[in-house]
Amino acid sequence: MTIIAVDGPAASGKGTIARALARHYGLPCLDTGLLYRAVGLSVLKAGGDPDQEADALAACDFEDGLLNDPALRSEAVGSLASRVSVHPSVRQALVQRQRDFATRPGGAILDGRDIGTVIAPDADAKIFVTASVHVRAQRRYADALEHGGHPDMDSLIADIQARDTRDMSRDHAPLRMADGADLLDTSDLAIDAAIQRAIALVDAQLEGHRKV
Ligand SMILES: Nc1ncnc2c1ncn2[C@@H]1O[C@H](COP(=O)(O)OP(=O)(O)OP(=O)(O)O)[C@@H](O)[C@H]1O
Ligand SMILES: Nc1ccn([C@@H]2O[C@H](COP(=O)(O)O)[C@@H](O)[C@H]2O)c(=O)n1
């Protein structure tokens, strides 16, 4: 069983890298941010307050079908996800589902904020993907344009900075590089180059594990 943990801030490219690693190693992949996004969107639909722990906890009981809702992908839902994810009971409610996925018999790849630190601290390989705030905002800008939106660069930068601050400063499972993780800064790397670098880092970590 091989578990690969991919963590990093918003729009760093961790999902792109996790999916590419999943194809390369033939493993299933879980985007754990979608779980928090589903909770955020459910609170909104129920007319609750994402900053109230009881409202957010009640929303953890969402229907699985919600995970396929394209509305989850918006920046607004990303911010809601970041707000509900500060509540310890919300994090606890989502832990088992992630650990069950991580410990599938054949192994798995998970991407998120706390995979290498909390969900799978004993993962066989850990990557922390990052990129500068400006580069990440440019990626969101390009995404929005491609989907017919009218993005504003200053708002995107402000949203990303607010999300980074909230994700890194919360008391429970804050975003940080896990012990044993390799840093992969994709600021100056095209997607293919970032993927090749990630594969090289994971191969080296898996090789190191085998020697132990
Ligand atoms: N190295 C790269 N160079 C250029 N664009 C990239 C790179 N990596 C990813 N992208 C693009 O940036 C956007 C965000 O990437 P991705 O969704 O993988 O990030 P993420 O960290 O998973 O985001 P989030 O978790 O906040 O949803 C996508 O449009 C993706 O194609
Ligand atoms: N393991 C995780 C994954 C996500 N979050 C929170 O959800 C927000 C949205 O995540 P995306 O990866 O889809 O951008 C994110 O900003 C985090 O607040 C988390 O706490 N733990």
Question: Does 133 map to a domain?
Answer: yes
Question: Does 121 map to a domain?
Answer: yes
Phi, psi angle pair for 107, to nearest 5°: 105, 175
Question: Does 175 map to a domain?
Answer: yes
How many domains does the chain divide into? 1
Average pLDDT value for residue range 108-133: 98
In whole angstroms, what is the distance from residue 184 CA to residue 48 CA? 38
Please state the atom number of ligand 2 nearest to the C-alpha of residue 110. Answer: 1
Question: Does 212 map to a domain?
Answer: no
Please provide the average confidence, as pLDDT, over all residues in the chain.
Answer: 96
| 11 Cβ below 6 A of ligand 1 | yes
Residue with CA at minimum distance from ligand 2 atom 10: 33
- pLDDT for 176-206, tens place per residue? 999 999 999 999 999 999 999 999 999 999 9
What pLDDT sits at residue 211?
Answer: 53
Q: Rounded to whole angstroms, what are the CA distances from 174 to 92, 148, 160, 177?
A: 14, 33, 16, 10
Question: Does 150 map to a domain?
Answer: yes
Contact 66, 42 (CB under 8 A): yes
Rounded to the nearest angstrom, the distance between the alpha carbon of 212 and the centre of ligand 2 is: 33
Instruction: Please report, for the domain that includes residue 116, its CATH number.
Output: 3.40.50.300
What pLDDT sits at residue 209?
Answer: 78
Q: Which residues touch 148 (CB under 8 Å, ≥6 apart)? A: none
Q: Which residues touch 134 (CB under 8 Å, ≥6 apart)? A: 157
Q: What is the DSSP letter of 16?
A: H
Question: Does 208 map to a domain?
Answer: no
pTM of the model: 0.97
In a 13 Å sphere around the CA of 125, the CA atoms on its Cβ side amount to 27
Query: With 50 as the cut, is the pLDDT of residue 114 above it?
Result: yes
| 36 Cβ below 6 A of ligand 2 | yes
| 16 Cβ below 6 A of ligand 2 | no
- pLDDT for 35-79, tens place per residue? 999 999 999 999 999 999 999 999 999 999 999 999 999 889 999
Percentage of the residues of the chain whose pLDDT score is greater than 90: 95
Domain span at residue 116 reads 2-203
What pLDDT sits at residue 210?
Answer: 65
What pLDDT sits at residue 169?
Answer: 97
Q: Rounded to whole angstroms, what are the CA distances from 26 to 6, 23, 79, 107?
A: 16, 5, 32, 9
In whole angstroms, what is the distance from residue 58 CA to residue 89 CA? 10
Residue with CA at minimum distance from ligand 2 atom 19: 113
Residue with CA at minimum distance from ligand 2 atom 11: 33
Question: Does 117 map to a domain?
Answer: yes
Question: Does 126 map to a domain?
Answer: yes
CB neighbours of residue 193 within 10 Å? 11
Name the residue among 23, 28, 198 with its Cα closest to residue 127: 198
Average pLDDT value for residue range 130-136: 98
